[in-house]
Structure 1
Amino acid sequence: MEESPYARAGGRLPGDPVPDPGTGHPGPPLPPDGRHGRRPAPRTLARALPVLLIAGGILYDLLTPRVFTAVPFFTAAPLVAAPLSALRTTLLTGLAALVATFAVHARFGTGADASLVTEVVTVATVALLAVAINRVVRLGDRRLASAREIAEAAQRAVLPEPAARIAGFDIAARYEAARKDAFIGGDLYAVQDSPHGVRVIVGDVRGKGLGAVAAVAVVIGAFREAAEQESALEGVAERLERALAREGTRRDGVDAFEGFTTAVLAELPHGADTVRIVNRGHPPPLMLHADGSLRCLIPYEPALPLGMSDLGRWPDRAIESAFPGGATLLLYTDGLSEARDAHGRFYDPWRRLAGRRFPDPRTLLARLVAEVRRHSGGGTEDDMALLAVRRP
């Protein structure tokens, strides 16, 4: 029986038949921008709840004896609208609740009796309270938006997006935070043109928050300096190791400085159709060839992440692989390969990308992000950094 192109270790090799060229893993079509349709969000459905409460109160009054009151429905409506809607909508909801209160009493023709006055005062008081809640929530939203803008500016400063073309290579990068309200995490990427070739790093700092951001800044700063000065890629990795060790000592212990960083470094020598890789405990890069074949660039020997030299030190050993024209080198963090669906199944970039072609790196990353969102139901548990480099 003929062996499947995907049965052997290392995936399908160049020259193997391409099963399903241009389409790959089946799935519903996505719009050109890489986004996919979503079901209405719970927040959108909740905005309709005030109208439903008022309508439900009126129906409750019509179907029950006079001694029963629908005021709980009418008071709940503006309270629900307050945190979810604009000030005008909250005011209109409170006004509608007051009108509904008068309307249900008019049905019985009771006039301005004590029960009507009590219910109107109750609904009006709650409506005013809802307006106050709305103003507090809107103020908090403005402060949060300001914090997000500051975080986004900090991310651009610490993690700037590389140019679309560097030294003849087409390049695209994407950072996807696990939460919509978080712009900065511990994933990182950088591209540096140097006298020794174009050098690339993608990494993942242990931990979250400001400590992880500080580690990202140290790693990227050390990488840019070492990429210019070190003649060998192994020397760049060693410089990163020393930089993290110095910062850990300065901050009184390695635990105070997030501990370690997984990273993969790549070097694209000028004038040579090759790529050199040093992997420090990171998911291996993928090489997507122009004919749809795919290779996984696995290191000769596993190595410890950066920042763990106290456990032992071994010389780095770069692997060298062909990087022909039309091929794309994909580097990513484990936010991609560890994204789970509702059944706990991981997203497998190797299987999903085999046999597919993409016109440029930006399209590749857009499709990956959209497919991961679809696979995980709209969100992931970990941040995701992606970087693709294509040799024209």
Structure 2
Amino acid sequence: MGPTRALPPRERQWLRWLPAALILGVFVLDLLSPRGMRVFPLLAAAPVLVAPWFSLAGTIATGGAAFLAALLLPLVRGRLPFGVDDVVPFSTFVTLTLLAAVVNQLLARERRQLKNAREVAEAVQRAVLPSPPGRIGPLAVAVRYEAAAREAAIGGDLYAIHPTPHGTRLMIADVRGKGLGAVQTVNALLGTFHEAALRAPDLPGLVCWLEDRVQEANAAEGGTGLEMFATAVIAELSADGSTLRMANRGHPAPLLVHRGRTRPLEPGTPSLPLGLADLGIPNVLPDIPVDQYALPEGAVLVLFTDGVVEARDHRGVFYDPAPRLSRPLPPDPDHVLDALLADLYRYTAGHLDDDVALLAIGLPRDANDGLDRAPAAHRRKADDSRRV
């Protein structure tokens, strides 16, 4: 299944009741205030207050309702609404309502432009990232791509999966930055991955190809001091899907979801992102660490970019996907990703601050025996890290 947008949860329902609450509050305040106090300006502010959120009709309707309330207030006080002293306030009221309508239309036009730009960015992104087949050998595959709500720039998130004689090789990565430079690096990494996936004899060799490609892209920039790099997880599944080998290059740890439990597959040794291997930091091993795991049948492997774990709620608390996935879920990658995205949108009130790419791999229950195998968390270091 291709990338789809999860529906955000209901938000700002209280805004529907804001005009009524404001008008009612002004009535109460007018009744409780001394006769010399004028609460009229509060009513005049009602259409301006709702203009950014309501439609044009809603904004004008709010202005009309507030105007009627302004006519009723003098009657409640026992005097006629149209006195000499009311000419200027009522003129101001009409002017503010017209101003609110203009502001409403300007904001609506900007929202339409942003929506169109975001749709174009998503279309380009999906053209760059074609959907993989839903089935590769015994493996079920699902991907999702969610563009950030606050930006229309094309992001640097990417995923790829390729069946090879060595097993099914896959990658998820997040290129630094946005825009044309990030897209160029994304294209370069995708092309290199699909070529190296077939030609590299092992996972460290594949990582070396990708590292060389990012280094070449940085060299082509002429040392501007804005070197490109990419966090990435490059992995390889055996032909039967029972064994996972994984090289994590500074990327969020993938999650293994199985029988209502979720655990992160943290790397045994931290590694620098792609493009930064030539920094020469002391105490960093020159080889490429590869972690190996045994995957139980019915498990789902979930890989994602940092837009997931860097999402925040209204208190600024980062999102943790593990609790949401640590519940009874069908062992289906599509279902798992849909559940994760729905929970992410609920947590962030429908607003993502960064793009999100997700890739999920499911191992069907009938793919192999050994349902209750414990994951083997032993790590294999590849001594052969030569360039392929």
Q: TM-score, normalised by structure 2?
A: 0.75
- Residues 373 and 225 of structure 1: is their aligned pair in 2 closer, same or farther, counting only changes over 3 Å? same
2:171 paired residue number: 201
Secondary structure of 2:52's counterpart equals helix
1:206: Cα distance to partner?
Answer: 3.3
1:306: Cα distance to partner?
Answer: 0.8
1:307 aligns with 2:280: no
1:260 aligns with 2:232: no
1:321: Cα distance to partner?
Answer: 4.0
Q: Is the 1:50–1:81 Cα contact (8 Å) retained in structure 2?
A: yes
Alpha-carbon separation, structure 1, partners of 2:255 and 2:214 = 27
1:80 aligned partner, one-letter code: L
Q: What is the aligned-residue identity percentage?
A: 42
2:56 paired residue number: 87
Q: Is the 1:340–1:347 Cα contact (8 Å) retained in structure 2?
A: no
Q: Is the 2:324–2:340 Cα contact (8 Å) retained in structure 1?
A: no
2:87 aligned partner, one-letter code: V
Matches within 5 A, 1:363-378: 363-371=335-343
Q: Is the 1:275–1:321 Cα contact (8 Å) retained in structure 2?
A: yes
1:167 aligns with 2:137: yes
Alpha-carbon separation, structure 1, partners of 2:327 and 2:45 = 56
Alpha-carbon separation, structure 1, partners of 2:110 and 2:53 = 13
Q: Which of 360, 367, 373 matches 1:388?
A: 360
Alpha-carbon separation, structure 1, partners of 2:74 and 2:262 = 74
Q: Is the 1:102–1:116 Cα contact (8 Å) retained in structure 2?
A: no
Alpha-carbon deviations, 1:84-111, whole Å to 9, x = none?
A: 2111122222222333333334454447
1:54 aligned partner, one-letter code: I
Q: Is the 2:244–2:293 Cα contact (8 Å) retained in structure 1?
A: yes
Q: Is the 2:299–2:331 Cα contact (8 Å) retained in structure 1?
A: no
2:377 paired residue number: none
- Residues 356 and 94 of structure 1: is their aligned pair in 2 closer, same or farther, counting only changes over 3 Å? closer
Secondary structure of 2:210's counterpart equals helix
Which shows bigger deviation, 142-151 or 220-229? 220-229
- Residues 137 and 110 of structure 1: is their aligned pair in 2 closer, same or farther, counting only changes over 3 Å? same
1:137: Cα distance to partner?
Answer: 1.6
Q: Is the 1:331–1:388 Cα contact (8 Å) retained in structure 2?
A: yes
Secondary structure of 2:37's counterpart equals coil
Secondary structure of 2:239's counterpart equals coil
Alpha-carbon separation, structure 2, partners of 1:316 and 1:284 = 16
Secondary structure of 1:48's counterpart equals helix
1:152 paired residue number: 122
Alpha-carbon deviations, 1:187-213, whole Å to 9, x = none?
A: 322112334432200122334555444
1:79 aligned partner, one-letter code: V
Which shows bigger deviation, 174-183 or 80-89? 174-183
2:320 aligned partner, one-letter code: Y
1:71 aligns with 2:40: yes
Aligned residue pair count = 354
- Residues 66 and 210 of structure 1: is their aligned pair in 2 closer, same or farther, counting only changes over 3 Å? farther
2:163 aligned partner, one-letter code: D
1:330 aligns with 2:302: yes
1:235: Cα distance to partner?
Answer: 2.5
1:189 aligned partner, one-letter code: Y
Q: Is the 1:218–1:243 Cα contact (8 Å) retained in structure 2?
A: yes
Alpha-carbon separation, structure 1, partners of 2:244 and 2:349 = 35
- Name stretches of at least 5 consecutive residues in structure 1 with no aligned partner: 1-32
Q: Is the 2:60–2:97 Cα contact (8 Å) retained in structure 1?
A: yes
Alpha-carbon deviations, 1:296-330, whole Å to 9, x = none?
A: 65556443221013224834354444345433333
Q: Is the 2:319–2:344 Cα contact (8 Å) retained in structure 1?
A: no
- Residues 157 and 65 of structure 1: is their aligned pair in 2 closer, same or farther, counting only changes over 3 Å? same
1:218: Cα distance to partner?
Answer: 2.8
1:26 paired residue number: none
1:124 paired residue number: 94
Matches within 5 A, 1:1-392: 41=11, 43-64=12-33, 66-106=35-75, 108-110=78-80, 112-176=82-146, 179=149, 184-208=154-178, 211-253=181-223, 255-257=225-227, 259-270=228-239, 273-288=242-257, 297=265, 299=267, 301-312=269-280, 314-316=286-288, 318-323=290-295, 325-336=297-308, 347=320, 349=322, 358-371=330-343, 383-392=355-364
Alpha-carbon separation, structure 2, partners of 1:100 and 1:357 = 53
